[in-house]
């Protein structure tokens, strides 16, 4: 897959959105035997720049740095419809007008960005309780902000996230119970 992309004169830039730094992201990069570059966004700065509130996301950027396609939330390179879009992009770069893999999944309210930032500042200042309180307020204001909600979960339940594996069954339970 990656060699096909390189042959078409394109490249992959992988962005790990992880507030806990590169050491949390590195095992995933290594396990995937990734040959492309992975950068780490520890302060969640791209969510504010691009307006997304959930991941995984894919952005296809043309030679001039313009957006050809975006898919916010649920981007999966193994899905046939995503493969089709990628092939179109690599072959010609010409995409249908207004192509958006998941319309309506962007539009991040500026107010929530401030919530996320001030919670993060509390966390970095060694006050996880303060961070949790601010993020809980943010999630109440905007229940579909999964970036903030999952960071809150991770803060309150580290054993579900960083004990060697991510407990997705537990995450589904949280959603079912409306947490």
Partner 1 sequence: MSKTITLQPGQPVPDFTLPSLDGQDVSLSSYRGGKVIVFMWASW
- Binding of residue 143 to partner 1 (CB under 8 A): no
Cα(135)–Cα(97) distance, rounded to whole angstroms?
37
Q: Which tokens sit at 94?
A: 């010409």
Q: Which stretch binds partner 1 (CB under 8 A): 10-18, 117-125, 126-134?
A: 10-18
**3-state class of 100 per DSSP?**
strand
CA angle 36, 37, 38 (to 5 degrees): 120
The residue from 61, 88, 102, 121 that contacts partner 1 (CB under 8 A) is 61
**Total residues binding partner 1 (CB under 8 A):** 70
Distance between the two ends of the chain, CA-based, in angstroms? 38
Q: Which stretch binds partner 1 (CB under 8 A): 97-105, 120-128, 129-137?
A: 97-105
- Binding of residue 39 to partner 1 (CB under 8 A): yes
- Binding of residue 88 to partner 1 (CB under 8 A): no
- Binding of residue 55 to partner 1 (CB under 8 A): yes
> CA nearest 27: which of 12, 41, 38?
38
Judge contact between 13 and 34, C-beta under 8 A: no
Q: Which residues bind partner 1 (CB under 8 A)?
A: 5, 8-18, 22, 24-29, 37-41, 45-46, 48-52, 55-70, 75, 77, 86, 89-90, 93, 95, 97-100, 106-111, 113, 150-151, 154, 161, 166
């Amino acid at each position: 897959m990656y060699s096909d992309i390189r042959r078409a004169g394109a490249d992959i830039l992988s962005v790990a959105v992880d507030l806990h730094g590169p050491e949390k992201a590195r095992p995933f990069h290594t396990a995937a035997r990734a040959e492309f570059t992975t950068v780490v966004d520890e302060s969640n700065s791209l969510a504010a720049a691009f307006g997304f509130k959930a991941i995984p996301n894919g952005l296809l950027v043309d030679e001039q740095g313009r957006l050809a396609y975006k898919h916010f939330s649920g981007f999966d390179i193994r899905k046939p419809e995503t493969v089709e879009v990628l092939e179109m992009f690599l072959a010609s770069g010409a995409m249908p007008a207004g192509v958006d893999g998941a319309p309506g999944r962007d539009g991040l309210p500026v107010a929530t960005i401030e919530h996320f930032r001030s919670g993060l500042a509390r966390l970095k200042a060694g006050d996880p309780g303060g961070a949790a309180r601010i993020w809980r307020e943010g999630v109440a204001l905007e229940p579909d902000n999964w970036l903030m909600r999952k960071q809150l979960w991770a803060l309150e339940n580290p054993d579900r996230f960083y004990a060697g594996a991510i407990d997705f069954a537990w995450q589904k339970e949280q959603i079912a119970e409306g947490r």
